[in-house]
Structure 1
Amino acid sequence: MVDRARLAGLMRQEQDRFVAEHPGSARLAEEAGGSLLAGVPMPWMTRWPGAFPLFVEHAAGARFTDVDGREYVDLCLGDTGAMTGHALPRVAEAVHRRALDGLTTMLPSPDAAWVGAELSRRFGLPRWQMAMTATDANRFVLRFARHLTGRTKICVMDWCYHGTVDETLAVLDGDRVVPRPGALGPQVDVALTTKVVPFNDVEALERALAPGDVAAVLMEPALTNIGIVLPDEGYLEAVRDVTRRTGTLLVVDETHTLCAGPGGCTRAWHLDPDMLVVGKPIGGGVPAAAYGVSQELADRLEPQMRGHEIDVAGVGGTLTGSALAMAAVRATLSSAMREEDFAVAVPLAAAWADGVAGVIAKAGVPWHVQQLGARAEYWFCPPPRSGAAAAAAVDEELEAFLHLWALNRGVLLTPFHNMALFSPYHVAADVDRHTEVFAGAVTALLGRD
């Protein structure tokens, strides 16, 4: 239903507007291009629809201001890194105090015990360790899984994403396991390390685990990094049953699905993983992650964790669990991502989804909306049940236009998806603004001016 010539013309107009309205960001982008690879300090920062990324001057709550003085409603929130909202006062105070008292000593700080107890309370797993990122935490738990089971392979969901973990950057091509498109320099053939199964396919999981050579299934309880793909009724219970019957450890990655509530989907849906990973949101913007294990696994791991050679075991890191990170996590979890915070954010996500659905219905386009807790997303197809179906529905030209149209009108969406994430700092007017902007984009796209 999309006229591609019209789409291209609208995109050119939006690109011209973007360049004209952001001379400060254009100047800084040119300067950065002289010393930074791809002109940015981290390559994902190129994944925006404008001719160059915005350079941000200030961010607080649910808004940020760029170097040209333009303010935006932030529905990306650092791709969940700022799920709590920007510049949390308690985190800023804790970081300042900790900086004056020393940031890292490779010894535990007084905040450590509180953080461990709070993670146990929220997620139900009794024993915890820290990491710098969810990528690190996922690598560590997979290493533990191979050590504990004596098995060499892991299993992941088709089109999943668990950070920059080599074994997880794998997809299905027919019945073959191949590197995910875009993966640079795979360390080894992923078919040697990894089995891949479609999300929501219990029979495929049964076949993958039947030989008894898989140490762990690593999965999100709902896919998020290929867009929101929700589990079928009874699917997660079936996954738990299959993993138990085959002696396979179940690892749940809640880094993005923490949007479902204070304890993520694990608490909201009464899941029972052997290990659990949670990443960036828990630090309020300061790099931090954590992984929890069952008591049975903790008892088995304890001798190695206290061993003389733990520093070369492939887990940990000098700055991991630093006094800075522990202070930030304590400040975040004691003042944010609580029941009262989700009581504000989740209804806003529902209202956003309703607004988008109303525009879609009025336009008569075959698009749909999905919601998971405090985040929601629109699709150009019926809600997919698998990662492959979600990947097949991606329309990069259309997404780029809708994102840039919104950005030019003061609304930032997550660059990798058509997704909005809400914090307690958002208000109903932010939802209404997006609905208005989205309606304008669809009207222009369909030529119904």
Structure 2
Amino acid sequence: MIDRDRLASLRADEEARFVALHPRSAELAAEAGRSLLAGVPMPWMTRWPGGFTVFVASATGAQLTDVDGVRYVDLCLGDTGAMTGHALPEVVAAIDAQAPRGITTMLPSADASWVAEELTHRFGLPRWQFAMSATDANRFVLRFARHLTGRPRIAVMDWCYHGTVDETLAVLDGDRVVPRPGAMGPQVDVAMTTAVVPFNDLEALDRRLAEGDVAALLMEPALTNIGIVLPEEGYSEAVRGITRRHDVLLVIDETHTLCAGPGGCTAAWGLEPDLLVVGKPIAGGVPLAAYGMSRDVADRLLAPMLSAEADVSGVGGTLTANPLALAAARATLSSTLREEDFAVAVPLAARFTAGVAEVIARHGLPWHVQRLGCRAEYWFCPPPRDGAAAAAATDEDLEGLLHLWCLNRGVLLTPFHNMALFSPHHTEADVDRHTEVFADAVAALVG
């Protein structure tokens, strides 16, 4: 239904508009190209639309200002890292208070116990450890799972995302496990390390775990990074039953699905994981992640954690759980990501969903908008039930136009897909601005 020539013409116009709006960013991008690989300090930053990357001057609450003075409604929020809103005053104060007393010591601070107890309250798991990122936390719990079970493989959902964990960068090609497109330099054949099953397919999961070589199933309660794919009725409960029947540890990654509430989908849906990973926003933007575990798993891990070789176990890190990060986490969890914060953010995401759905329906497009808590995304297809169907519907040209159209009009979406995230700092006016901009883009596109 999309005229590709019209799309290409609109994209060219938007590229020219982008360049005209961002002369200072263009200068900084040229300077960065002399010393930074690909002109950016981290590869994912190349995914933003436009001929170069926009450089940030400041970010506060739900607003971001670039070096050209252009202000944006920020619906990306650091791809969830700033889901609390930018520059929380409580976190700024905690950092200001802790930094003069020491930033990293490789010794515990009282804040570590406070944060662990708060995570227990939110997620229900009694024992916790920390990591620098959710990627690291996922690596660690997979090591634990193989150690505890003596089994060599882990299982993931087809087209899942759990950070840059080698074993998880795998998809299905028919019945074969192959590297996910874009996975650079796999250390080994992923078919040797990983079993892959489609989301929402209980028979496939049961059949694969019955082979007896899987230590843990690592999964999000709902797929997110390929677009939100929600579990079908009864799916989550059945997954827990299947993993228990085959003595497979269930690891829930709540790093993105924390958008469902203070305790993520685990609390909202009554899930019962053996281990749980959460990261990104829990320290208000300061790098920190955490992984929790059941009492049984903790008891079984205690001896190796107390051994003389614990520091070379592949778990840990010199800067992990530093006092600055834990002070920031305590300030964050004390002041935001609470029920009252989600009570503001979730209705905003619902308003976004309704606005986008109305535009789609008005033009009779076979598109869809999906929501999980305070996170919402739109796709250029009917709602898929698994990751492979979502991946097959990817339309980079169409996505790139809509992202650039929004960016040029002061609305910042996540660059990897059509994700919008809402914080207590957003307003209904912010939502309505996106709806207006989205409606104008669709009208221009379909004529």
Structure 1 length-normalised TM: 0.99
Alpha-carbon offset, residue 107 of structure 1: 0.3
Partner Cα separation in structure 2 for residue 65 and residue 325 of structure 1? 25
Report SS of the residue matched to 1:439: helix
Output the aligned Cα RMSD: 0.5
Q: Determine the structure 1 residue equivalent to 2:268.
A: 268
Which runs of structure 2 are paired with 1:148-227 in the superposition (5 Å)?
148-227=148-227
Q: Determine the structure 2 residue equivalent to 1:390.
A: 390
Partner Cα separation in structure 1 for residue 362 and residue 192 of structure 2? 50
Alpha-carbon offset, residue 84 of structure 1: 0.3
Query: Are 1:311 and 2:311 matched, yes or no?
Result: yes
Report SS of the residue matched to 1:424: coil
Q: Determine the structure 1 residue equivalent to 2:432.
A: 432
Q: Determine the structure 2 residue equivalent to 1:35.
A: 35
Q: How many residues in Structure 1 have an aligned counterpart in Structure 2?
A: 447
Partner Cα separation in structure 2 for residue 241 and residue 127 of structure 1? 23
Alpha-carbon offset, residue 245 of structure 1: 0.2
Partner Cα separation in structure 2 for residue 91 and residue 272 of structure 1? 31
Query: Are 1:21 and 2:9 matched, yes or no?
Result: no
Q: Determine the structure 2 residue equivalent to 1:414.
A: 414
Which runs of structure 2 are paired with 1:46-445 in the superposition (5 Å)?
46-445=46-445
Alpha-carbon offset, residue 204 of structure 1: 0.5
Report SS of the residue matched to 2:34: coil
Partner Cα separation in structure 1 for residue 112 and residue 361 of structure 2? 50
| CA displacement 1:126-161 (0-9 Å, x = unmatched) | 000000000000000000000000101000000001
Give the partner amino acid of 2:55. Answer: F
| CA displacement 1:3-37 (0-9 Å, x = unmatched) | 00000000000000000110000000000000000
Partner Cα separation in structure 2 for residue 112 and residue 443 of structure 1? 52
Partner Cα separation in structure 1 for residue 49 and residue 323 of structure 2? 38
Alpha-carbon offset, residue 353 of structure 1: 0.3
Partner Cα separation in structure 1 for residue 376 and residue 441 of structure 2? 18
Give the partner amino acid of 1:160. Answer: C
Q: Give ranges in structure 2 of 5+ residues lacking alignment.
A: none
Partner Cα separation in structure 2 for residue 32 and residue 375 of structure 1? 33
Which structure 1 residue ranges, 4+ long, deviate > 4 Å from structure 2? Answer: none
Alpha-carbon offset, residue 382 of structure 1: 1.0
Partner Cα separation in structure 2 for residue 365 and residue 164 of structure 1? 35
Partner Cα separation in structure 1 for residue 55 and residue 49 of structure 2? 14
Partner Cα separation in structure 1 for residue 239 and residue 321 of structure 2? 32
Alpha-carbon offset, residue 364 of structure 1: 1.1
Alpha-carbon offset, residue 284 of structure 1: 0.6
Partner Cα separation in structure 2 for residue 202 and residue 359 of structure 1? 35
Partner Cα separation in structure 2 for residue 22 and residue 72 of structure 1? 13
Report SS of the residue matched to 2:231: coil
Alpha-carbon offset, residue 337 of structure 1: 0.2
Q: Determine the structure 2 residue equivalent to 1:446.
A: 446
| CA displacement 1:210-244 (0-9 Å, x = unmatched) | 01110000000000010100000001111000000
Give the partner amino acid of 2:415. Answer: P
Partner Cα separation in structure 1 for residue 275 and residue 325 of structure 2? 21
Alpha-carbon offset, residue 358 of structure 1: 0.6
Partner Cα separation in structure 2 for residue 385 and residue 207 of structure 1? 19
Partner Cα separation in structure 1 for residue 94 and residue 268 of structure 2? 29
Give the partner amino acid of 1:370. Answer: Q
Give the partner amino acid of 1:106. Answer: M
| CA displacement 1:315-368 (0-9 Å, x = unmatched) | 000000100111111111111100000000000000000000011111111111
Report SS of the residue matched to 2:244: helix
Report SS of the residue matched to 1:85: coil
| CA displacement 1:297-326 (0-9 Å, x = unmatched) | 101111111111100011000000100111
Give the partner amino acid of 2:425. Answer: Y
Report SS of the residue matched to 1:370: strand
Partner Cα separation in structure 2 for residue 327 and residue 53 of structure 1? 32
Partner Cα separation in structure 1 for residue 269 and residue 288 of structure 2? 25
Report SS of the residue matched to 1:195: strand
| CA displacement 1:261-299 (0-9 Å, x = unmatched) | 000000000000000000111011000000000000101
Alpha-carbon offset, residue 428 of structure 1: 0.3
Report SS of the residue matched to 1:65: strand
